[in-house]
A and B are shown apart, each in its own frame.
Chain A
Amino acid sequence: MSELKVSGVEKSFGAASVLCGLSLDVEQGTIAAVLGPSGCGKTTLLRIIAGFETPDAGEIRIGRRVVASPSVHVPPERRTIGFVPQEGALFPHLSVRGNVGYGLGRSKERAPRVLEVLDLVGLAHLIDRMPHELSGGQQQRVAVARALAPRPALVLLDEPFSALDAGLRTEVREVFRAALRADGATAVLVTHDQEEALSCADLVAVMQHGRIVQAADPVTVYRAPRDLEVAAFLGDAVRVSATFAAGFADTEVGRLRLREPAPPDGVGVALIRPEQFVVIDRNGGPAPLADSGSAVAATAVQRSFLGHDALLAVSLSSGAVVIARALDPGPAEERPVWLSVRGPVNGYVTEPSS
């Protein structure tokens, strides 16, 4: 059953409408990421779930209990939630032990539970440190442990890794994921970083214009975005005009197989991820066979080398330029290539044929 059920929540600040009938279900034991651009209202959503703000309309349930509705407002301290704010926000006057134990009261279980959750985040050895003696990543891990300690029904995280530098971010994210799993916690994480959402969540809910426009597992959301806007937000996307017929898209990069379920026949846009392109030097050789349609002749015009791979700007015969991701960067100067597409692509019909 769903641990968190948000139904039709609305919220506006003055004239600005932030949430417009937002709904979201999160199953018990899953990690959900609410992904949206900066300023889309995802932090407001989190604060409403936590009880720091009240919704103008709609209902929120945690477990079986209604915690917010037009007639109900359960204060934050009685919602059995854990909250991890952006910068961790450890209590500066309490040690790591004091911080993690803060939500546990004076029960007998306190000391072992503090150790247990600190173990989950791998910081049991720092139990007597003060917050200012910890690095940023360690502070964030303590903040997660502190939120988990009272075994909340729901852990809420507000861009918890954005303040960390890139190397640390991956590490802390992994620790956090493992800790939540080990504790069987249900979590909602809000972020504007698609990589973060895709890599650590079981459910990615894409938020746009004050509502959730698509919620599914990360692979589905990335591979089969509901529309072009979602597609563009989840990663680099190349759009080419296409004519759809019988499960194929005819485009200037060839005849491409459409992902099931294929859109109805008509005219529209095919969406190709840059890593779906295969770029091979032409050097007068024959066109290679691609798994959908044949390769087209094109010219690689520009290269930006990223280390693990490279992005190539490839100019088509029409003069249009597409971006392809290539493992082998090849030479920087302009050169003739074969361009083909691997795997099925997504089609979005703009004008159905009658």
Chain B
Amino acid sequence: MVAARADPTVLLAQVVRPRSLMLLGSSLGLAATVTAISVVLGVGAAWVIERTALRGRRAWGVLAALPLAVPSYVAAFSWISVLPDIAGFPGAVVVLSLCCFPYVYLPAAAALRRLDPAMEEASRSLGVGALTTFWRVTLPQLRPAVVAGALLVALYTLSDFGAVSILRYDTFTRVIFTSFNASFDRTPAVVLSGMLVLVTAVIVIAEARTRGRARYSRVGSGAARLMPRIPLQRTRILVYGGLALLAGAALGLPIATMGYWLSVGRSGEIDIPRIIEAVGGSLVLAGGGAVVTMLLALPVGLLAARYTGRLTGVLERATYLGHAVPAIVIALSLVFFTVRYAIDFYLSIPLVLFAYAVLFLPLAVGAVRASAAQSAPVLEEVARSLGRAPRQVLRTITLPLAAPGIAAGTALVFLAAMKELTATLVLHPTGMDTLAIRLWSETFTRSYAAAAPYAALLMLVSAIPTYLLGRDRRRTGVEASRAPVSEALG
């Protein structure tokens, strides 16, 4: 919008400026490194937890999912407060990889659980060894899950703002924010936003291309048997040590740091009324955002699950735009739009809720669609044949069956909105505080002790739904209700 008003030569000069190209390199380099490390950590953890005779499998499963509850800027705060020297590229890689690997772990573990042992057995019976079977049969079966997770990691890294700015590593998002804040000339921010959107678009399209045409499902009916678990022998120390190191770095360190800063910071730095105000602000924005987003997602998700037409496909994919476009870009475009055309909404609560809806609609739509797909169309047909009109069928069959998925989707959006920093920072009404904003500004001035209570509260709030998502519910026989969740995450 703004770009169109500017002089094209100025824009071009902006794009080919060495600084812009350097930013492109640093952003892509970070995204590639973090994605590669997350895939290794996520697939490795999933395989060890699902396929070996590990003790305390369920607990390890929860531990491997929990880093999702650590907002990246909270992790960045804890690492830099302990190791100030880590600032820059190494810090960004470590922090983002530890925060992101569950995006690969969760879908990979779910895919491993769904794998039919008969496939591997068939491969072994054809004279192929265990290791080769893993490469030729198991891994290809995991590919869609892993690629989907890797895409999330790459997009997350490109759009992350909190961690890279706390760790002082210049990527697109950080430079966009500072140039937006610092100068009256908005052109650099707009040009950089455009470049960032282009990069994410290229990654999303590339991922769609790799999916190919192969089908990845079991053929035939009947329940899959459970996979036999591989006993751990000499590798035991390595496996337990590796998992413990991972959990320690991703969860232990942030918790320990917060404990440390809370204990040293007792001397009057903890401002209780201010904390309560921030909690209130977070609850209002995240709660409102979750409700608004789910209301928008319900019709889209139900339509997408039932009618696979071209229009519903376009509609559904349109909602995924929010996932690929970085929050900073969405926030800036909302600023430009409201300033120019709807000044009454500039920096208002409805504007923040709208931004959340744009950002988190994919999560909610995915959850609704997956859970509505759980209720087979044949159930609705039977209900119709028993004399119920379509609207009654929706109320008595489709919605009740989708309810757990809808609830999980709402919780997911709430969690994501609670942690959201970038859009909240740019759009929040003046004078309104949230946990994320307080944490960010305290860390920015390096008053780590004052930041600690906010970090602790944020992690606590996010940990509850994440724990519920990561818990192994197989024994209750409602494996199905997991699917929407891993779908929503992956």
Task: Tell me, yes or no, whether A102 is within 8 Å of chain B by CB.
Answer: yes
* Given known A-B contacts A52-B381, A85-B381, A132-B477, A102 and B221 have beta carbons under 8 A apart: no
Task: Tell me, yes or no, whether A225 is within 8 Å of chain B by CB.
Answer: no
1/0 per residue, CB under 8 A from B, across A44-58: the answer is 000000111000000
User: What residues of B have a CB within 8 angstroms of the CB of A87 in the complex?
Assistant: 378
CB distance from B479 to the nearest CB of A (A): 11
Interface centre among B386, B389, B397 (most CB of A within 10 A): B386
1/0 per residue, CB under 8 A from A, across B366-410: the answer is 000000000110110111111111000000110011000000000
* Given known A-B contacts A103-B387, A163-B221, A89 and B382 have beta carbons under 8 A apart: yes
- Count of chain A residues near B, Cβ 8 A: 28
CB distance from B166 to the nearest CB of A (A): 46
Task: Tell me, yes or no, whether A150 is within 8 Å of chain B by CB.
Answer: yes
How distant is the Cα of A9 from the Cα of B376 in the complex, in angstroms? 28
Are A50's CB and B383's CB within 8 A?
no
Are A103's CB and B386's CB within 8 A?
yes
A85 contacts which of B378, B400, B401 (Cβ < 8 Å)? Answer: B378
Are B401's CB and A93's CB within 8 A?
yes
How distant is the Cα of A50 from the Cα of B378 in the complex, in angstroms? 12
User: What residues of A have a CB within 8 angstroms of the CB of B401 in the complex?
Assistant: 91-93
Interface centre among A80, A102, A150, A163 (most CB of B within 10 A): A102
User: What residues of A have a CB within 8 angstroms of the CB of B379 in the complex?
Assistant: 89, 91
User: What residues of A have a CB within 8 angstroms of the CB of B397 in the complex?
Assistant: 91
Are B384's CB and A102's CB within 8 A?
no
Are B386's CB and A82's CB within 8 A?
yes
1/0 per residue, CB under 8 A from B, across A100-113: the answer is 00110100000000
How distant is the Cα of A50 from the Cα of B385 in the complex, in angstroms? 7
- Count of chain B residues near A, Cβ 8 A: 19
A150 contacts which of B375, B384, B386 (Cβ < 8 Å)? Answer: B386
Are B376's CB and A77's CB within 8 A?
no
1/0 per residue, CB under 8 A from A, across B343-376: the answer is 0000000000000000000000000000000011
How distant is the Cα of A50 from the Cα of B377 in the complex, in angstroms? 14
Are B381's CB and A78's CB within 8 A?
no
User: What residues of B have a CB within 8 angstroms of the CB of A77 in the complex?
Assistant: 384-389
B392's closest neighbor in chain A, by CB?
Answer: A77
CB distance from B381 to the nearest CB of A (A): 5
How distant is the Cα of A77 from the Cα of B388 in the complex, in angstroms? 5
Interface centre among A78, A92, A146 (most CB of B within 10 A): A92
Are A89's CB and B376's CB within 8 A?
yes
User: What residues of A have a CB within 8 angstroms of the CB of B477 in the complex?
Assistant: 132
Instruction: List residues of A (81-128) whose CB comes within 8 Å of B's CBs.
Output: 81-83, 85, 87, 89, 91-93, 102-103, 105
CB distance from A21 to the nearest CB of B (A): 26
User: What residues of B have a CB within 8 angstroms of the CB of A92 in the complex?
Assistant: 375, 401
Task: Tell me, yes or no, whether A329 is within 8 Å of chain B by CB.
Answer: no
How distant is the Cα of A147 from the Cα of B385 in the complex, in angstroms? 8
User: What residues of A have a CB within 8 angstroms of the CB of B388 in the complex?
Assistant: 77, 102-103
How distant is the Cα of A34 from the Cα of B150 in the complex, in angstroms? 51
Interface of B toward A, CB cutoff 8 Å: 221, 375-376, 378-379, 381-389, 396-397, 400-401, 477
